[in-house]
Amino acid sequence: MTTIGWVRHGITDWNVARRAQGQTDVPLNDTGRAQARALAERFKNEKWDAVYASDLLRAKETAETIANALNIPLHVDERLREMACGRMEGTTEDERIRMWGEDWSGMELGVETDESMILRGEEVVREICLHYPEQRVLVVSHGALISTLLPALIPNMQEREHLHNTSVTLVRQLNEEWVCDLYNCRRHLDAVNL
């Protein structure tokens, strides 16, 4: 039974401005770094065997903070990147409305499909289970990828709440199925002024 702890990266200036980041390589801001440190502190009281992370700075830096604090291996994998947002990347909702009108979300703007994200996410999950059977692995990725992949892994999953920065969602393999034991938990942030 492999356990995966899905973690959304720490906050960035683009998150604060509500800009579509997609695969643009935006770093953590100071608050995001503090969130990552708080998360690493939380994980010191738990047993984890490895960390996987998207190669984008915001996820990679969050994962490095955790891996260094726990002294566990870090695997960087571009398949864990955020959804590619095409022409939307770098824009706010107001800018999209100005450029493309109120119905911009129905337009073909080069945004990656859910199927593409699920396919690459499931590949990584299979590899984690192969390389870390019966172990506990953290995966630091991005909001759209995690929230799109989880219902594909757990079809009867009811949780759909927006994933917060550095939130933790625990899933474990039970026979051939996945179950969710914890969703969108951010109790580690209660201990710090963020």
Average pLDDT over residues 95-108: 91
Is residue 193 scored above 70 in pLDDT? Answer: no
The answer to whether the CB of 37 falls within 8 A of the CB of 62 is no
Tell me if 2 sits within 8 A of 135, measured CB to CB.
yes
pLDDT tens digit sequence for 66-92:
999 999 999 999 999 999 999 999 999
Catalytic residues: 9, 82
- Residue 160, pLDDT > 90, answer no
The rounded percent of the chain whose pLDDT value lies above 90 is: 88
pTM across the whole model: 0.94
Examine the pLDDT at 8 and tell me if it is beyond 70.
yes
Only one residue has tokens 């990828």, namely: 145
Are the beta carbons of 70 and 43 closer than 8 angstroms? yes
Domains along the sequence of the chain with CATH = 3-191 (3.40.50.1240)
> Within a 10 A sphere around the Cβ of 148, how many other Cβ atoms?
19
Each residue's pLDDT tens digit, 131-146: 999 999 999 999 999 9
C-alpha–C-alpha distance, residues 66 and 57, integer Å: 14
Query: SS3 string of 106-125?
Result: HCCCCCCCHHHHHHHHHHHH
Using the 8-state DSSP alphabet, how is residue 166 labeled? T
